[in-house]
Amino acid sequence: MTKRQPIKVGITLDQVIEAAFAVLDRGGLEKLSTRAIAADLGVSMNTVMWHIRTKSRLMDLLAEAIFAEMSLDDLPSGWDARTVELHQRLRSAMLGHRDGARVVAGTFVLGPRTLGFSEHVVTALLKGCPTRRTAIWTSWSLFYFTLGLVQEEQAAAGADLPERVPEEFPVLSSMVDEFHSAEFDARFRFGLEQILRSAEVLEAP
């Protein structure tokens, strides 16, 4: 029988996650490290590693924690309105942390809160999509769209966008204002509704 390792005294996994978010929110994903988390907690790196085991698992834990910040209560009754609201809540949760979308995008989490979100989304989509496969594939399209837009939104917060597009791209140059549009709320809503309208009539192969 393998001898069980003693639990490290002084900090908990929840405290490690809280400290990891503090490091992330201050310096972004590039500054997130075991050393920085340990410094915040005033413990050794080995103590942090005992709790998280690997950097990859830390990212999974952070992603699951971001999903846990979303409420799944008081959702609209209509399948499409419910789907939109769920993804708006996901967007808000990711925007609540610096590089939150990058954290989630780099993981494949099967935790209870992540699965709970997907369960609600697919259940809603089953009421509006023509087939079960269409519902699943639409849930992927919505999730990837949300991740991509929020990553752009978070990156744009500190970016200096060029005022013009080179003339060799005449169509984009003539629409530079729209090309650099920062109307993320409107773009997000439009994208969700565009995907959902397609999902009602376009069956997955």
> Domain extents for the chain?
13-53, 73-199
Q: Is 115 helix (H, G, I), strand (E, B) or coil?
A: helix
pLDDT of residue 176: 74
Of 90, 13, 21, 91, residue with least CA distance to 52: 13
pTM of the model: 0.89
C-beta pairs of 36-43 under 8 Å, 24+ apart in sequence = 41/11, 41/15, 41/16, 43/10, 43/11
- Estimate to the nearest angstrom the gap between the alpha carbon of 147 and the chain centroid: 6
pLDDT of residue 3: 47
pLDDT of residue 179: 64
pLDDT of residue 4: 44
Q: Is 108 helix (H, G, I), strand (E, B) or coil?
A: coil
Q: Measured between alpha carbons, how far is 74 from 70 in angstroms, rounded to an integer?
A: 12
Residues 48 and 41 sit within 8 Å (Cβ to Cβ): yes
pLDDT of residue 6: 42
Identical fold, 13-53 and 73-199: no
Cβ neighbours, 10 Å, residue 21: 20
CATH code linked to domain 13-53: 1.10.10
Residues 84 and 145 sit within 8 Å (Cβ to Cβ): no
Architecture in CATH for domain 73-199: Orthogonal Bundle (1.10)
H helix or E strand, kind and range, residue 13: helix 13-27
Instruction: Give the mean pLDDT per block of 10 residues along the chain (205 residues).
Output: 49 96 96 96 93 94 97 96 98 98 91 96 98 98 97 82 78 76 88 97 95
